[in-house]
A and B are shown apart, each in its own frame.
Chain A
Amino acid sequence: MNYYNFHLYQAIVAFIAAFMIFQGVRNYLKGKSGQTFYKVAIRIIVWGGMAFIAIFPGFTNALAKIVGLQGNVNAVIITGFILVFMMIFKLLSAIEKLEQDISILTRKDSLKEIQKK
């Protein structure tokens, strides 16, 4: 890696990826409900892969050669893509959490009748 050509976006992506991986691993180690090893592994692969490509952009050229595409990726597009990806990821997580909370509330409400007896 050439340290003189290190760009700000690379540091940002690496930081965000490290944060997301750290959060996943911490939740898994704490035994937080729903956090399985499989999920943590996928999280590490997705975010780790993103950080790897950001830190070693030359890898995309090798990948482009393997896949057979001419890789000429604009950093702005990548940044935008990552931001949108992150937003969708967080949004879907929030929706999922809300869905689960609604189900729990609905269940508690319907079970009241039995608990009264």
Chain B
Amino acid sequence: MNEKIFIVIPAYNEETVIQDVIREIKNEGYDNIIVVDDGSKDRTCEKAKEINGITVLRHKINRGKGAAAKTGIEAAKLMEADIIITIDGDGQHDPKDIENLINPITKKNFDVVLGTRLKNPDGMPFHKKIHNWIANIITWYLFGLWVTDSQSGFRAYSKKAADLINTRYDRYEYDSEVIRELYLYKLKFKEVPIKVRYTEYSKSKLEKQNIFNGFKTLYKMFWKLVH
């Protein structure tokens, strides 16, 4: 494989797991890693910098997962990436799946590959499944494209897709906005089942995405359509 592959990790307050996440990705043979510390209050940035050979960027203030992912993608583009993977910084994604996300781009000319948790939802908390289904329906209604996991942060983009997709949403609405861009630019995409590791840590992170944040995300999606 001659493509220059970059892994982007948006991270906020992940000091306890960020080094493990980076090492796991390195162990899978991916060395071009960009960590975007989204204004963490803990030592996420310092912890990431302790690992040699990776790029660590820092948002001086917290701007949200979407903004951090976009910063990482812009950085990868500056570093002439051919394929860009985004992966969550809390360790819920298994880096072994990266290859499954890359293959449709390199072998079948897909533009974007979406990792989907709902094709293999073992261990996913019930309320999370409901949350994802509601998000999928809203994303479909607002942005016109049905996908099985509109909120997954584990995705792969070809250079063409990374150049075309121009997101403005800063927080969790970002994941749905990417779906809108797929529809707008008629990008060829594929959904690939991914494994999700629901550890106590990642579950505690998920709890923070409670129903109120869900409503906030919904409100922002509607608002940005109207104004």
> Distance in Å from the Cβ of A100 to the closest Cβ of chain B?
6
| B152 within 8 A of partner (CB) | no
The contact size tier of chain B is 20 to 34
Asked if A39 and B225 make an inter-chain contact with CB atoms under 8 angstroms apart, the answer reads yes
A residues apposed to B, CB below 8 Å: 33-34, 36, 38-39, 42-43, 46, 89, 92-93, 96, 99-100, 102-103, 106-107, 109-111, 113-115
Binds A, one of B22-30, B52-60, B102-110, B187-195: B52-60
Asked if A110 and B226 make an inter-chain contact with CB atoms under 8 angstroms apart, the answer reads no
Of A34, A38, A106, A113, which is within 8 A of B59 by CB?
A: A106
| B203 within 8 A of partner (CB) | no
B residues apposed to A, CB below 8 Å: 36, 39, 55, 57-61, 63-64, 67, 70-71, 74-75, 78-79, 166, 168, 170, 223-227
Asked if B63 and A111 make an inter-chain contact with CB atoms under 8 angstroms apart, the answer reads no
In the docked arrangement, what's the CA distance between A42 and B36, Å? 36
Asked if A89 and B227 make an inter-chain contact with CB atoms under 8 angstroms apart, the answer reads yes
> Distance in Å from the Cβ of B68 to the closest Cβ of chain A?
9
Asked if A103 and B226 make an inter-chain contact with CB atoms under 8 angstroms apart, the answer reads no
**Closest residue of chain B to A97, judged by CB?**
B227
